[in-house]
Amino acid sequence: MAQKIEAVPMRGFAEASPEQANPWLMAQRQFDIAADVLGLDPNMRRVLRECKRELIVTFPVLMDDRTVQMFTGYRIHHNIDRGPAKGGIRYHPGVTRDEVKALAMWMTWKCAVVGIPYGGAKGGVVVDPKNLSRNELENLTRRFTSEISIVIGPDRDIPAPDVNTNAQIMAWMMDTISMQAGHSVPAVVTGKPLGIGGSEGRPEATGRGCMLTTLAALKHLGIRRLSHSSQHRPGPRQGWDPLPPRRHAGRSQSAGHVDDVEVRRGRHSLRRSQGRRRRGPQESQP
């Protein structure tokens, strides 16, 4: 007879507050903290705390079975004082108005921090693209683009890929706007295929940025190499041997320095490099 097992609730996890669960309230709270630190003018604070423009559209899409389904989409501008709005478009069943507002605000800060003359925007459609055929995905993209065409353009708002959108989605968006304009408008979106004016490295840009940020953080923390006691997949606070940055000061790779590249090559490279240091420069010669 099978034994009945009762689930025991996990302890130590507090329920998220409404502010933590709502991305827009969280974004506003983050702004309030930064504004307090900067001593921001109260009038400017009230302006930057809200989104400038919100477009919500509900549009029909013809499906493969010849039925018409309705979808909801958003395009929100937070601020365009520095230039045209800039921000991605995502397709996800969990897209909400508050999420898009928060992402638009964060885009404003990201563009400003790195000195790019754009404002912040974001867009999305409440849909699971995995449940759509390629033809249905194209129909949805083109119709959504037509609905938000009143606010996007090279000098107004420039969409880009985001969650569940890619270069093909951007190509359909560009083509839709170009048909309305009567000529090619490649500058209406970024993240396009290379053949129609896209940029090399764009598909890998997000992942590369995460990698470079992680490596910079490891260097800042003095985490330079794997320890001998590390497991194959080290968990948090395990398997890393923190070394002071000054320990490697002035040492080159030819002198046996184990840098970040060697760490990624695996433990064999690490042992070989350490062996060269133990033998000395004379014995390591063939």
Our CA angle for 86, 87, 93, nearest 5°, is 155
Options 3.30.1050.10, 3.60.150.10, 3.10.290.10, 3.40.50.10860; CATH of 51-192: 3.40.50.10860
Residues 6+ apart with CB under 8 A from 171: 192, 193, 196
Catalytic residue among 110, 122, 192, 219: 122
pLDDT: which is higher, 263 or 12: 12
72 has pLDDT over 60: yes
Confidence at 275, pLDDT banded by 50, 70, 90: low
Express each pLDDT in 93-128 by its tens digit. 999 999 999 999 999 999 999 999 999 999 999 999
C-beta of residue 104 within 8 angstroms of C-beta of residue 80? no
Give the C-alpha distances (Å, rounded to integers) separating 20 from 17, 23, 26, 246: 5, 7, 6, 40
Mean pLDDT, the chain, as a whole number? Answer: 82
Radius of gyration of the chain (CA): 25
Burial (0-12, 13-18, 19+ Cβ within 10 Å), 224: buried
Residues 6+ apart with CB under 8 A from 194: 200
Cα gap 66→64, rounded to integer Å? 5
Express each pLDDT in 23-69 by its tens digit. 999 999 999 999 999 999 999 999 999 999 999 999 999 999 999 99
- The boundaries of every CATH 3.40.50.10860 domain in the chain are 51-192
| Cα 83 from chain centre | 21
248 has pLDDT over 50: no
Q: Which two tokens stand for residue 163?
A: 């969650």
277 has pLDDT over 60: no
Catalytic residue at 52?
no
Which pLDDT value is given to residue 270? Answer: 44
Write b or e for each residue in 140-166: b if 16 or more Cβ atoms lie within 10 A of its Cβ, otherwise e: bbbbbbbbbbebbbeeebbbbbbebbe
Pairing verdict, β 119-126 and 53-62: unpaired
Considering the chain, what percentage of its residues have pLDDT values greater than 90?
66
Which pLDDT value is given to residue 39? Answer: 96
